[in-house]
Amino acid sequence: MNKNVFRNLSYGVYVVSTLDGKRNTGCVANSIMQITSSPASVAVSMNHDNYTNSCIQNTGKFAVSILSELSAPSLIGQFGFQSGKDTDKFDGIDFSVREGLPVLNDCCGYLVCKVIDKMETSSHTVFLGEVIDGDTIGGAPAMTYAYYHNVVKGKSPKNAPTYIAEEDRSAKDKTASKWACQICGYVYEGEVPFEELPDTFVCPVCRQSKDKFAQK
């Protein structure tokens, strides 16, 4: 089976947040869809290995911040490529509290949901949430996964349901390759040759240092 066919499905880029006791936590998700309109409900797919999964199980509620094309790419790195188990992902983040849950201010809309059902698969939990609050923020278009992949030049975290491992490239391909962040997959395409960038350069998505880049 050619798994690249799944890239033709439409996805957004979201930050799903909840509480770890009294501490805010969350992660990036891209498999979220509306299920019903009255009462409004959405489904969220969350990997068993995501710390946010167990926190949603414990709190019974979650919020969805819908990232826009103008949202800072570093949000994806902060919430998508490190674990909330040992990291305060909301450190330095501008957010508001809606129905007791943190919602990013740098987004184009949010939903707050209470869990009303769930389904387990071999690798993911699908949470069904009834929407108890929601609103739009600003007028920027929502970021799609295609935009993130083609414009931001990022990739899905390995725990994402849409993650597809990249195939190894031939030696010929690598001779004309570009520099990519080994943490989040961001591809540097600036006018200044990568080797000439200062050592203080950091990945604009996950904020990792220059030495985390490699030719691809």
Average pLDDT (113-119) is: 98
Q: CATH no. for residue 194?
A: 2.20.28.10
Q: What would the two tokens of residue 114 be?
A: 């209470």
Q: Are residues 105 and 201 in the same domain?
A: no
Q: Are residues 26 and 102 in the same domain?
A: yes
Residue 163 belongs to a domain: no
Question: Is the CB of residue 159 less than 8 Å from the CB of residue 165?
Answer: no
Predicted TM-score of the model (pTM): 0.76
CA-CA distances (angstroms) from residue 158 to 19, 35, 45, 162? 23, 26, 14, 9
Q: Which two tokens stand for residue 80?
A: 């998508």
The average pLDDT across 105-119 equals 97
Tell whether 98 and 183 lie within a shared domain: no
pLDDT score for 125: 97
User: pLDDT digit string (tens) for 89-105?
Assistant: 999 999 999 999 999 99
H or E segment at 175?
helix 171-175
Residue 107's SS3 state is coil
User: What average pLDDT does range 105-126 have in this prediction?
Assistant: 97
Q: pLDDT at residue 4 above 50?
A: yes
Domain total in the chain: 2
* H-only helix segments in the chain: 51-59, 74-80, 145-147, 171-175
Q: What is the extent of the structural domain holding 93?
A: 11-152
Whether 29 and 68 have beta carbons less than 8 Å apart is answered as no
From CA 71, how far away is CA 76, in angstroms rounded?
Answer: 9
Query: Residue 163: pLDDT above 60?
Result: no
pLDDT score at 82: 77
How high is the pLDDT of residue 66? Answer: 96
Statement to judge: residues 200 and 120 lie in one domain? no
Residue where one domain finishes, among candidates 152, 184, 201: 152
At residue 103, the pLDDT reads 97
Residue 213 is predicted with a pLDDT of: 86
Same domain? For 17 and 58 the reply is yes
pLDDT higher than threshold 80 for residue 10:
no
- pLDDT at residue 171 in the model: 42
Do both 204 and 140 map to the same domain? no
Q: What is the pLDDT of residue 67?
A: 94
